[in-house]
Amino acid sequence: MKTLNIAVIEGDGIGPEVTREAMAAADAAGRLCGAEFRWTKYPWGTDYYFEHNRMAPRDFLDQLAGHDAILLGAVGHPQVQDHVTLNGLLLPIRRRFDQYVCLRPAFLYEGVNSPLAGKAPRSIDMLVYRENTEGEYANVGGRVYQNSDHDVAIQTSVFTRRGCERIIRAAFEKARTRPRKRVASITKSNAQGYGMVLWDECFAGVASDFPEIATESLLIDRAVMEFVRRPESFDVVVASNLFGDILTDLAAIVVGSMGLAASGNIDPTRKSPSMFEPVHGSAPDITGKGIANPLAAILSAAMMLEHLQLDAAAASIHRAVADLLRTGGPRSPDLGGTAKTSEVGQSIIARIRG
Ligand code: GGG
């Protein structure tokens, strides 16, 4: 039996509720291919913040470093500003472990309705490559004359040739393995005339190494329109940190629910642990009601298994999710059902076990 050490940060709000189901699904799937998981839970997030005035202990990155992967639930609390929760936990993890690929699939499952009319099952199938270590999330800037009439805030985006080229290249390499072989790059380089012009130059340069891949470059304002008008036409999409984040919420809703949106923050070199988390946040409005959709967390666990090269285990989760949705299995209220989080989770496990 192969044992993998996974750090678990359940975090805030519905984080613990959905992460519980994701761990159970991974345990069931792992057993199928001779793998087991040693889960180490770290109680970090806003409860920790209320006690210690920080989201995690000073050495939290060192504590995480030795694990094979990190599974995260959600962070955020209505009484704590979101920049505190994000900068205190999530972003330092992404940067320290150089998780420069944020991979976010959006797939229209059979049995799930898109809010857009007339979309056939499986007709929308895109993979967004979000740059994950720099760009608009670089956290460079400052404040002066705070809380006065002269209050000044400077927020700088950071785009580097290395940072742009490596995420764009990762997107092209993936596109090469997919049937449609298309990459769309999304910027706002007409208005962001330094960083995003560099991005466009890098895109053109990397594209020339992949002549078999069809490309398009869209400005973000046109891209949001086309995500609604012709979502089927997108295959692999590559975008900056901020644009990738916004576009993947849109893509998640176009394929039916935030409750199905999984993500991986990946260090492709495998030198450091990668982190897997549902795209959704802590959802304080439904916390404790037991009705959160666990499928985004479960699908994130499947991405983790794939990254850990447990392909058969990952495939068993993907099959279980597709089967549950296709056959009208229990579904949570975001998908029009009445099932509890635990019912959905148990139904997935029953399907994994066959
Ligand atoms: N499940 C992840 C989570 O809680 N995310 C909160 C968030 O605000 N994320 C923003 C981001 O991924 O950039």
Taking alpha carbons only, the member of 188, 185, 184 closest to residue 219 is 188
Band of pLDDT at residue 1, cut at 50, 70 and 90: confident
Give the type of residue at 212: E
Q: Percentage of the chain with pLDDT > 90?
A: 99
Q: Whose CA is nearest to atom 13 of ligand 1?
A: 245
Q: Which amino acid is at 345?
A: G
Share of the chain above pLDDT 70, in %: 100
pLDDT tens figures, 105-129: 999 999 999 999 999 999 999 999 9
CA of 36 to the centre of ligand 1 (A): 28
Q: Could you give phi then psi for residue 244, rounded to 5 degrees?
A: -60, -40
Q: Confidence band (pLDDT; 50, 70, 90) for 338?
A: very high
Does the beta carbon of 278 lie inside 6 Å of ligand 1? yes
Cα–Cα distance, 124 to 109 (Å, whole number): 9
User: CA-CA distances (angstroms) from residue 96 to 2, 92, 273, 330?
Assistant: 27, 6, 10, 39
Outline where DSSP puts E strands in 204-317: 214-219, 236-239, 262-266, 274-278
Q: Which atom of ligand 1 is nearest to the CA of 279?
A: 1
Determine whether the shortest distance from the Cβ of 86 to ligand 1 is under 6 A.
yes
User: Model confidence over 196-234: pLDDT tens digits?
Assistant: 999 999 999 999 999 999 999 999 999 999 999 999 999
pLDDT, residue 152, reads 98
Q: How far does the centroid of ligand 1 lie from the alpha carbon of residue 76, in Å?
A: 8
Pair 13, 281: CB distance under 8 Å: yes
Assigned superfamily of 1-99+277-354: Isopropylmalate Dehydrogenase (3.40.718.10)
Q: Where are the domains of the chain?
A: 1-99+277-354, 125-254
Would you give the DSSP letter of residue 89? I
Homologous superfamily of 125-254 in CATH?
A: Isopropylmalate Dehydrogenase (3.40.718.10)
Q: Does residue 13 have its Cβ closer than 6 Å to ligand 1?
A: no
Helices first, then strands: H and E counts in the chain = 12, 12
What's the confidence (pLDDT) of residue 43?
A: 98
From 262, 344, 253, 246, select the one nearest 300 (Cα to Cα): 262
Mean pLDDT, all residues of the chain: 98
Segment 308-337 shows an average pLDDT of: 98
| Residues 45-66 pLDDT 10s | 999 999 999 999 999 999 999 9
Of 68, 286, 198, nearest to 185 by C-alpha is 198
Residue nearest to atom 4 of ligand 1 (CA): 74
| CA-281 nearest atom, ligand 1 | 4
Question: What is residue 223's predicted lDDT score, i.e. its pLDDT?
Answer: 98
**pLDDT for 132-191, tens place per residue?**
999 999 999 999 999 999 999 999 999 999 999 999 999 999 999 999 999 999 999 999
